[in-house]
Amino acid sequence: MRDKLTKVLPLAALCGALGFGGAAIGQEKAGGGKEPAAEDAPDEIVVLGRINQLRTEVQRSEEAFYERFNEINGDHKFDIHCRLEPLINSHIPRRVCASNTWHDLDAKIGSAALREYRGELGSTPDSLVTEQTYAQKELTDAMRRATAEDPQLQQDIVHFVAAKRALEEQMHGQPRRSAEQQVEPGASGLPYDARAMFVVRAGKEPWSHPLTQSTFTIANVAGEVHNLDLRCAQGERPIEYQEGVDWTVPQGWTGCMLVVGAAPATMFNFYEFE
């Protein structure tokens, strides 16, 4: 239960409460015709740069909503802040947007789990998770009230939903071949000190990539990654995909190709590290 809660962004929960979450993309047109299948068009028109811009705009409009909400909500416990949290098994941190109350209770849950392990008395982790669930409902109610009363918040949420729908429309369809765009390093190099970075849009056929470094990871997944397959001169090894994990090629293995199976139109960033 708690794992699901931590992945529900406050604004996403509010959109669902206000009825913004059910818009289907790619339904039949008013005239009765259907959108042409993405695989009928040349693969060259898959513009990854446009998708990246929209992903950035979704994040920017989400944070603009939180900034305004923090200004007017009148209770510091409801203030929402986004931050990058390091992961133990990955170079790539996880972006988390949550209220001050959520962060405070997260810390208390960790302390309670340690006390429970030591056999000490105090609040149990389960009771604090229940409190956290209730706090999330309080936050959604406060966001709903604030949005109903503040014209700027209303504009912010409309902008967020429009950007999110535009992104979904760009990603809709089932292209046959996967597409990739390599990100060139800037003045300070690539993010997270990566040696190589690619933005990938999966097609019906798996995405294949010849590895140039020994360690790699997949991040910022929009869609579903099914499985990974490492194919080297020394043999083949299936890899179970896990979010927030780096993988390292076995020592001595050479000439490795990584094959990624994902749902068509899934987007992700691929990083290689020394």
Q: How confident is the model at residue 23 (pLDDT cuts 50, 70, 90)?
A: very low
Report the percent of the chain where pLDDT is more than 70. 81
The two structure tokens encoding residue 118: 């030591």
Q: In the predicted model, is pLDDT for residue 3 greater than 50?
A: no
CATH topology of domain 179-273: Jelly Rolls (2.60.120)
Q: Would the pTM count as exceeding 0.85?
A: no
Contact partners, residue 133, CB within 8 Å, separation at least 6:
1, 5
Output phi, psi for 80, to 5 deg: -110, 130
Distance from the first to the final alpha carbon of the chain: 37
Q: How confident is the model at residue 173 (pLDDT cuts 50, 70, 90)?
A: low
36 vs 230, more confident:
230
The two structure tokens encoding residue 130: 């229940």
Least confident segment among 10-14, 71-75, 196-200, 226-230: 10-14
Q: How confident is the model at residue 51 (pLDDT cuts 50, 70, 90)?
A: confident
Is residue 38 a contact partner of residue 158, using CB atoms and an 8 Å limit?
A: no
Residue closest to 258 by CA, chosen among 267, 245, 274, 271: 271
Domain boundaries, the chain: 2-171, 179-273
Q: In the predicted model, is pLDDT for residue 108 greater than 60?
A: yes
Q: CA-CA distance, 53 to 59, in Å (whole number)? A: 10
Least confident segment among 4-8, 100-104, 248-252: 4-8
Q: How confident is the model at residue 20 (pLDDT cuts 50, 70, 90)?
A: low
